[in-house]
Structure 1
Amino acid sequence: MKSRSIRALCSFAVLAAATTAAMPGAYAEDPYVIYLSNNFVGNDWRQQMLRVAEVTANKEPFAGRVDLRIENVEGTVQAQINSLNNIIRSKPNAILVDAASAEALNPTIQKACDAGIVVISFDQTISAPCAYAVESDWNRIPNVMAEWMADQLGGKGKVIIDSGLAGVPISANIEKGYRGVLSNYPDIEVVGTYNGDYALGPEQAGVGSLLAAHPQIDGILTQGYGSGAIKALQDAGRPVVPVTGFSYNVSALTCLETEGAKCILASNPAYLSSEAIRLAVQILDSGERPEERHILVNGPFLATGGFTSKLHPEADVVELENGKNAFPDLAPGLTLPVSPDWMEITPAESAGTN
C-alpha cells in the first residue's frame, strides 16, 4: 500500500487554494453537507474526536461552509451499515467514517462512491479503494519509541513490552515495531509481555505481575498510558525506569510530576477528524483528488527531554511542559496535542470545558 505524509498533502492544499482563488464564485453557495459516521463513543478519545470535529466545522476557514452532521452508532457493524445507507440516500457531499470494520463496510462505501459522494475514512480506516484513509503512522510510532528506549538504556538492559489488545492489528504492528528496532541491540533483552488493553487498570496489573516475576526490569514499552506502568513501579517499591506510552494528559502529567521519570509519548491525535474535514473540503472545492488514497498524519512525540531519531530524523519530538502540552486543570483522558498546526483549537475546546 502506498502512503504519504500529511505534510505532502500541503501541495494539494496549495493547488486547491490557487484553483479556487483563480475562479470567482468557485466555492459552493450552499454549505457542504458532510456526515461523520462514528461507530463507538465509549472512550475519551472518541468523545474528544467528535468535539474537535464540531469545533473545526465552526471555525475559519470552514465556518458557514460546512454543515457537519454527526451520526453515532453504538454496537454492531450492521448498525453502522444501516446508518450509512440512510446517509447515502440523503445525498450529502461527503461522508467521514470512523469504521467498525476495515472490510465489512466496503460494499456500502462503494455504493456511496458510485453515487458521487466523497468518502474519507479516518482513525479506524476502511480498505475500500474508492475511499481515502487518514490515520497515524503506525510504523513510525513504535520505531521512534523503541529507538528512544535503546538510547535511554545505552543499548543494554532488560525490558518488558505491552502487546496491546489481543486480535487488534494496530496492537500487533506496534509490538512488531518495538521488537524490530530492539533486535538491533543484542544487549537489550525482552523478558516479558503483557496485554495492557489500552486501559490504565490492565496496564498497571500487567506491569505489576511482571515486576513480581523479574527482579531486574530496566525499561517498559507500553501501548497505552505509561502512567499505569509508573504507578506499578512505585507500588512495587522499584526505581522508576524509562517508559514509553501515548500522549494522554494523565500520562504527560505523571511523567512531569514523578521524580526521575523519563518518558516518550506518541500521539494518535483526536484531530484526525479535523484532517478528514479539511481533506473533504479541499476535494470538494477543487474537484481534484489526491493520487494516493492513504494519507498519514504525523503527530509530534512528547518527551521529558530532547531526542533526535536517526531512523526518522523528521520526527518532531517536543519537550513536555506544564501548561503548554500538559494541563493539570483538564481531564486526565484528554489526548495531546489538541490542535493541528493549521488551526487553533484550544485545550478547553478540545476538552469540552469552554
Structure 2
Amino acid sequence: MKNRQFTLRTVAVSCFLVLAAQAPTAAIAADTATKKIALSNNFAGNSWRQTMLKSWDKITKDAVAKRIVAQAPSFTTAENQATEQAAQIQNMILQGYDAIVVNAASPTALNGAVKKACDAGIVVVSFDGIVTEPCAYRIAVDFKKLGEMQIDYFASRGLKGNLLEVRGLAGVFVDDEIHQGITEGVKKHPEFKIVGSAHGNWTQTVAQKEVSAILSTLPAVTAVATQGGDGYGVAQAFKAAGRPTPVIFLGNRHDELTWWKEQRDASKYQTMSASIAPGASTFAFWVAQQILAGAKVPKDMKLPLSVVTQQTLDESLKNTEAGGVVNVEYSQKEVMNFLAKLK
C-alpha cells in the first residue's frame, strides 16, 4: 500500500454510511458559477481546525478559479460562543450567500439563525459540529462510536482499572457524543472506572494544563480516553508529574503520532488513534455546491473515521505534515460520484 492518503480517500468514498428518509436522485453538474458559499466556523484554536480551514481554502480557491462558484470565503468567530456565531450567520444572510456551511458551536443554539437562513432560501450544510434544525443538512462521523471504540480497544489489550477522560469543548455536539460513547463503553466493560475528567478543548496546551491540575488528586491511571488534539499534552502532564505513562488513545495529530513513534521505538509502547478527517469541510463544500446545482441529497450523512494502528503508524506519520492531522480532501468528482449512487 504505497499511498496512505489514497487509501483513506478510497475508503472514505466507498464506505459512507448514509441515513436518509427518502431516496435521493443522482447528482448533476448544473451551472453554479454565480453562487456564493460561505463557511461559518466557531473555533480555530487547534491543529485540526487549522488543517480544516487550510483544506477549505485549498479546494474552494480552485473552485473559484475554475468558475464553479463565485465566492467561498471562510469566517471564524473570535470566541467559541453560539451567540456570536448566530450573529455571524445573520450577517451571511444579509450578505446574500446562497449556501452556508457550518461547523457549529452548539447543536441547538444556532437553530434559530439556521432556520432564518433556510427561510431566506439559503442552503445550510453543517459538518463535524452539526445542528439539529431539520432544514439543515448534517455531515459527521459516528462520534459515539469513536468514544466507545476507545474503551473496546483498552479492553482488547487486557487492560483494567482506572481511566482518565479528557473531553473537548464544552457544549459542542462532538464533545457530548464522544463522552456518551465513552460512558457506554465503560458500562459494557465494568473492569474500568472513570476516576477523573478534564476539558482539554482539543488542544495539547490546554490538555496539559488541565490534566496537570488534577493529577495529584487521582489514583494510578491505567488508560486515558481522549477526543483528539489532546493526547500529546496528556503525555507531557504525566511526564512532568513523574507518573507512569498510561495507554493514551490519540487523535491523528502530527505531534501525537510523532510522540507515539518515539515511545514505540524506545519501549514498544502500543496504542491506537482515530479522528474525523479535517477535509470533511471539503466534502461539505461540494455537497452544498451540488444542492445548489439541483441535486437532492440525504439530510444526514456519516463519514468514516480515519484510524491509525500500530501497523499503519509509520505510513500515516510520513503522509502527515508537521503541525497537521491525518487528512482526506474531496474532489467535486468524488462527491458527485458518491451522490450519483444514492438512488
TM-score by length of 2: 0.76
Which residue of structure 1 aligns with residue 197 of structure 2? 193
Cα offset for 1:43? 3.6
The 3 A distance-change label for structure 1 pair 325 and 183 is farther
Residue in 2 that maps onto 1:302: 308
Q: Which residue of 1 aligns with 2:318?
A: 324
Query: Which consecutive residues of structure 2, in runs of 5 or more, have no partner in the other structure?
Result: 1-13, 335-343
CA contact (8 A) 1:58 1:64 kept: no
The number of aligned residues is 314
- Cα distance in 2 for partners of 1:89, 1:206 equals 40
SS of 1:124's equivalent in the other structure is: coil
1:25-83: CA deviations, max 9, x gaps? x6217343212223444443333222211211244799320231333443454544444
% same residue: 29
Q: Which residue of 2 aligns with 1:352?
A: none
Deviations 1:73-101 (A, max 9, x none): 43454544444334324443322122344
SS at match of 1:56: helix
Which of 1 and 2 has higher RCO (CA within 8 Å, sep 6+)?
2
Quote how far apart the aligned CAs of 1:8 are: 4.2
Partner of 1:232: 237
C-alpha separation in 1, matches of 2:253 and 2:195: 27
Residue 270 (structure 2) aligns with: 262
Counterparts of 2:186 and 2:109, CA distance in 1: 35
> Could you tell me how far apart the structure 1 residues matched to 2:331 and 2:314 are?
17
Q: CA deviation at 1:244?
A: 0.7
Structure 1 residue 142: Cα displacement: 0.8
User: Does structure 1 retain, via aligned residues, the 8 Å contact 2:104–2:131?
Assistant: yes
Mapped to 1, the partners of 2:191 and 2:16 lie a distance apart of 37
Larger mean CA deviation between 134-143 and 205-214 belongs to 205-214
Alignment partners' CA distance in 1, 2:117 and 2:307 = 36
Select which of 220, 225, 228 maps to 2:224. Answer: 220
In structure 1, the residue matched to 2:66 is 63
| Cα pair distance change 1:84/1:56, threshold 3 Å | same
Q: Distance in 2 between matches of 1:184 and 1:299?
A: 22
Aligned positions of 1:72-151 closer than 5 A: 72-75=76-79, 77-151=82-156
Cα distance in 2 for residues equivalent to 1:79 and 1:213: 36
Corresponding residue number in structure 1 for 2:250: 245
Residues of 1 paired with 2:221 and 2:19: CA distance? Answer: 44
The structure that has the greater radius of gyration is 1
**1:30-69 pair list within 5 angstroms:** 30-59=33-62, 63-67=66-70, 68-69=72-73
Distance 2:15 2:133 in 1: 20
Rounded to whole Å, the distance in 2 between the matches of 1:185 and 1:273 is 35
Instruction: Show the counterpart of 2:26.
Output: 16
| Alignment partner of 1:175 out of 168, 173, 179 | 179
Alpha-carbon offset, residue 253 of structure 1: 0.8
Partner amino acid for 1:274? T
Structure 1 residue 7 displacement after superposition: 1.4
Q: What is aligned with 1:160?
A: 164
CA contact (8 A) 1:6 1:296 kept: no
Counterparts in 2 of 1:219 and 1:118: CA distance versus 1, 3 Å: same
Going from structure 1 to structure 2, the CA distance change for 1:69 and 1:169 (only over 3 Å counts) comes to closer
Q: Distance in 2 between matches of 1:326 and 1:86?
A: 36
1:279 CA drift (Å):
0.8
The 1:228/1:261 distance shift into structure 2, 3 A limit, reads farther
SS in 1 for 2:55: helix
Q: Which amino acid aligns with 1:289?
A: K
TM-score with structure 1 length normalisation?
0.74
State how far apart, in whole Å, the 2-side matches of 1:324 and 1:59 are: 26
For 1:309, the equivalent position in structure 2 comes to none
Equivalent-residue separation in structure 2 for 1:280 and 1:13 (angstroms): 18
Q: Secondary structure at the match of 2:73?
A: strand
Per-residue CA shift, 1:87-130, capped at 9, x if unaligned? Answer: 32444332212234433433332232223221112232222211
Partner of 1:349: none
